[in-house]
A and B are shown apart, each in its own frame.
Chain A
Amino acid sequence: MFTGPEIETVFAELGITHVVWIPDTAIGPWEAALAGSSRLRLVRVCREGEAWPLAAGLHLGGQTPLVVMQTTGLFESGDALRNVLFDLKLPIYSLIGVRNWLVPQSRDTAKTFAEPILSAWGLNCQWIADPADKPKLAEHYRRCRAAGIPGVALMAEGAP
């Protein structure tokens, strides 16, 4: 969907200061551009459950973090997400790669449960399912920032 330099530019132009992530095969190729960026900092966590409170600390410290992970990590980190977005009420934005979304015959349950889980949380979501959708990421991020609410960009992925 996005190349590394493309996504680094999008994130930097949005004013994101830290990308807190665990990559997957679709997001992983962004690493060189993000790690080499002079405009933002890449923070690697060992488990997705760390990403949400780490982003919370960055936010409370005056920075503008973004959480990036795959659907599997979203499921794993549900309680941390719940705490940060709903108990602490922090407007953390995230980009979630949805594994196998672009593979119609796939019966991957990571694909099946992505939308229902986010719907259950009541989170404001934006699909990035096609290259033509790329501008929607920045538009949705800005809308969520302006409203002071968390938001999720769901990035459709192919097979891992």
Chain B
Amino acid sequence: MRTLNDRSQVMPVVDALRVLADLCCDAQIVVTNQGSARIWPKLRRRSLDFHYNPSTMSGAIPLALGLALAQPQREVVAVSGDGSLLMSLGSLVTVVGSGVTNLTIVLLDNGLYEVTGGQETPAARSAVDYAGLARAAGFPSTAEFRDLADWQTQAADVLALPGPRFVRLVVSAAPAEYLTSSTPPLAEQLTGLRVAVSNE
């Protein structure tokens, strides 16, 4: 029987993110940070993507929540690492308490503090049920994927479930060449996002 912290089956993180990038519609806002902020720009470039670097760890979910509250007509996706989420698990409660329905949190769980060199998080060897935590916080829709084929076939349906949504993807560490790549300049991103958000 597989335990929750079993990492014998993980999906390649770049492929996992590519599924999400391919599904994003033009009006959707996507907030990435840390590792995902370095991978996503190589997969897709849109002015509604905000690669939140330099970030403060655990900031991506609240920032995405603020965008979701400000832009209720748009869907917002926050891509967070597990290390960042662990720094502010209460943000799951904040999301639900805010009443937003247009927010999806996609958790990239690799058990590592990736950008600092791959040290283990406290949860790396623990049976932390992140989707269960989200359900307990009140998320009406949660899902978990370890197999890329499953994620590829079910992602669109999961992203159409009632929000807020929480999706845990158990993934591999990012290839080294991605972690050394830079995100687009922050000032350029902020300007682009402001303009894109103001265009209905």
Residues of chain A at the chain B interface (Cβ within 8 Å): 18, 20, 41, 43-47, 49-63, 65, 79-80, 82-84, 87-88
Contact = CB atoms under 8 A, between A and B. Distances in A.
Contacts of A46: 88, 90-91, 93-94
B62 A54 contact: yes
Interface string B62-104: 1111111111000000000000000010110110011000000
A49 B58 contact: yes
Given A43-B98, A45-B94, A61 B71 contact: yes
B45 interface: no
Interface of B: 31, 50, 54-56, 58-71, 88, 90-91, 93-94, 97-98, 186, 190, 193-194, 197-198
Nearest to B50: A60
Contacts of B64: 57
A57 B91 contact: no
Given A45-B62, A57-B68, 8 more contacts: A43-B69, A50-B88, A53-B60, A61-B197, A62-B70, A62-B197, A65-B66, A80-B56
A84 B198 CA distance: 21
Given A45-B94, A46-B91, A49-B88, A60 B194 contact: yes
B69 A58 contact: yes
B197 A82 contact: no
Nearest to B58: A49
Most A CB contacts (10 A, CB to CB) among B54, B63, B91 go to B63
B94 A61 contact: no
A66 to B, nearest CB: 13
A34 B16 CA distance: 42
A82 B55 CA distance: 10
Nearest to B70: A61
A17 B155 CA distance: 34
18 contacts: A20-B66, A44-B98, A45-B62, A45-B90, A45-B91, A46-B90, A46-B91, A49-B56, A49-B58, A50-B94, A52-B59, A54-B65, A57-B31, A57-B64, A59-B70, A60-B67, A60-B193, A61-B66
A50 B186 contact: no
Contact of B59 (A53, A62, A63): A53
B66 A60 contact: yes
A43 B61 CA distance: 14
